[in-house]
Chains A and B, each alone.
Chain A
Amino acid sequence: MQLGFLVDLHLCMGCKGCEIACKVENEVPLSTWRLRVKYVDVGTYPETKRTFTPLRCNHCENAPCERICPVSALHYIDNGIVNIDKERCIGCAGCVMACPYGAIYIDPETQTADKCTYCAHRIASSMMPACVVACPVEANIFGDLEDPTSNISRYIQGHTDVQVRKPEKGTNPHHYYVGASQAHLNPLASRREEGYNLFNNITKLPLGGHH
């Protein structure tokens, strides 16, 4: 079994329901996110549109975080999920530095690394990840990539514009996007300008790091 995610960006409307469901399900502390939705505004007025990209751990087949972890706190489980053992983590932040997707953070409460686990605890009880359940438009498609009859496999077979983030990194992500543009997936394809955020002057809580 190889579990994977696919997000159909044609369907995503940026409601952030997945983000909130993840926060609640996993008790993700303030100022940190296992899953977040990025907004990028594209075009020049009046020809503008807003794009939405849910971002989470990609559960790479060749995961840099797993490789650099000195104590195997980050490890693969049989269904392909890159899981984390917070009791073993020493908080070296090697995984934070290695993940090309910025998906790992240091939990300010436990002072250990944390990230999306595809809700491994729910999957173990035959439940879907919380973000999948919360999505009102079924933009999140989750399932077994090794099963050609699964929803995700059929979705991949039926679409030609299936992409992953940063394929040049050789990480082989198990997280796919349909309907993505460079503005969605490439952090260098959009500008970040002071004053252009929907929420400016965001106050962040002190987190791990910043020595």
Chain B
Amino acid sequence: MLHETLAATNAVVTLDVPLPDIFWGWYVTMNMWAKSIGTGLVFMLFLLLKKNSSEMDSLRTPTLIVSFVMMNVFLLFTWLDLHQMWRMWHIFFYPHMTSAITIGAWMATLFVGLEALMIAVMILKKDTATFDKLLFWVTLLAIPVTLYTAGIMAEATARELWQMPTESVQMLLAATLSGSAAIILLGGSKLSADSKKFFGAILGLSALMAFIVYMSEYIFGAMKAEEVAAILNYVKGDGEYATMFWIGQWVAYILPMILVALSRVSNSDSILSLAAILAIAGLWVVKHVWLVIPQLLPLS
């Protein structure tokens, strides 16, 4: 029990009907998860262009299409999560520029528009030079598009757990984790062994760094603020989300790290593919737990 709850006062709430707790549920998890894959694939495609552009030929269009589809999944769930979804246009006609939601919606729309343009450039004109030029600018735009959800979480000031510095790092790592995993699966035999190792290393290192950040918050977060301590109790001991939290950590980070190492030792593509699948699946669980637990804490 937290230090304010003194035995001497023995304070017990006997009448309070707080407002319903989980407002941002799995629709928002889908939103974050799909966006991570969508922007992550763009980052990886750009890295491939810089590292080994000869492998780009068969990957430009399919990678961009998958990214475009995931970005549309992200936009779809963002839209479905609105309680007044037919008023979505208000964001564009009555914008409030202090809101990360507004800025994010504008940037994501531009991002998806540019992706559509790049796909059109490839399908209609097969113009790889224009595609590669556009890829640079889309990769730059992918950075704030990845980060803006962290801004929304930071502006959700009632949820002390979500802090901009850690959430922005986690958003970027989620993109590099899921993007590298997705391009490993998507590239298949089209990627050289060298490129697979490269993306495997990004996958493993992203998993390691994300795991370190989560563990840092898990262990040290509680020492900084009583609200964070109370929230983290939901994932500690016999907390309501403890099992789900550890399933997420193992599936998204620990197992992929081990499997990436094994794949490098044994030169096994199938082990690397398994690591990629686990990372993508586990990321959903990790994101969901971190989204839900701050909403369980009573605010009154």
Which positions in A face B, CB cutoff 8 Å? 32-33, 36-44, 50, 55, 64, 66-72, 88-94, 96-102, 104-106, 111-112, 169, 171, 181-183, 186-193, 196-199, 202, 204, 207-211
- Give the docked Cα–Cα distance between A90 and B87 (Å): 5
- Give the docked Cα–Cα distance between A28 and B98 (Å): 29
In the complex, the answer to whether B82 meets A90 with C-beta atoms within 8 Å is: yes
8 cross-chain pairs, A with B, having the tightest CB-CB distances, nearest first: A91-B83, A102-B299, A39-B15, A190-B11, A209-B23, A189-B4, A97-B156, A70-B101
Main secondary structure of the interface of A (DSSP, over half): loop
**Given A94-B99, A207-B20, are A64 and B25 neighbors across the interface (CB < 8 Å)?**
no
Specify which of A102, A111, A192, A211 is in contact with B13 (CB 8 Å cutoff): A192
Name the B residues within 8 Å of A111 (CB-CB).
83-84
Name the A residues within 8 Å of B5 (CB-CB).
188-191
Name the A residues within 8 Å of B123 (CB-CB).
none
Name the A residues within 8 Å of B4 (CB-CB).
182, 186, 188-189
Write the nearest CB–CB distance from B293 to chain A, whole angstroms.
13
Write the nearest CB–CB distance from A93 to chain B, whole angstroms.
5
Name the B residues within 8 Å of A69 (CB-CB).
96, 99
Specify which of B1, B13, B22, B94 is in contact with A38 (CB 8 Å cutoff): B13
Name the A residues within 8 Å of B157 (CB-CB).
64, 98, 100, 169, 171
- Give the docked Cα–Cα distance between A211 and B19 (Å): 15
- Is residue B155 contacting chain A, with contact meaning CB distance below 8 A? yes
Write the nearest CB–CB distance from A57 to chain B, whole angstroms.
12
Name the A residues within 8 Å of B98 (CB-CB).
66-68
Name the B residues within 8 Å of A199 (CB-CB).
15
Q: When each residue 65-100 of chain B gets 1 if its CB lies under 8 Å from chain A and 0 otherwise, what string results? A: 000000000000000111111011011001110111
In the complex, the answer to whether A183 meets B11 with C-beta atoms within 8 Å is: yes
| Interface residue tally for chain B (C-beta within 8 Å) | 56
Name the B residues within 8 Å of A99 (CB-CB).
158, 299
Which chain B residue has the least Cβ–Cβ distance from A198? Answer: B15
* 13 A-B contacts (beta carbon < 8 Å): A37-B15, A40-B11, A41-B14, A42-B9, A68-B156, A70-B95, A70-B99, A89-B87, A92-B83, A93-B83, A101-B300, A192-B298, A211-B26
Apart from A68-B100, A211-B27: 11 A-B pairs, beta carbons within 8 A: A40-B11, A40-B12, A44-B10, A69-B96, A88-B90, A90-B88, A90-B91, A91-B85, A189-B9, A191-B13, A197-B14
- Is residue B60 contacting chain A, with contact meaning CB distance below 8 A? no
Write the nearest CB–CB distance from B111 to chain A, whole angstroms.
17
- Give the docked Cα–Cα distance between A94 and B81 (Å): 11
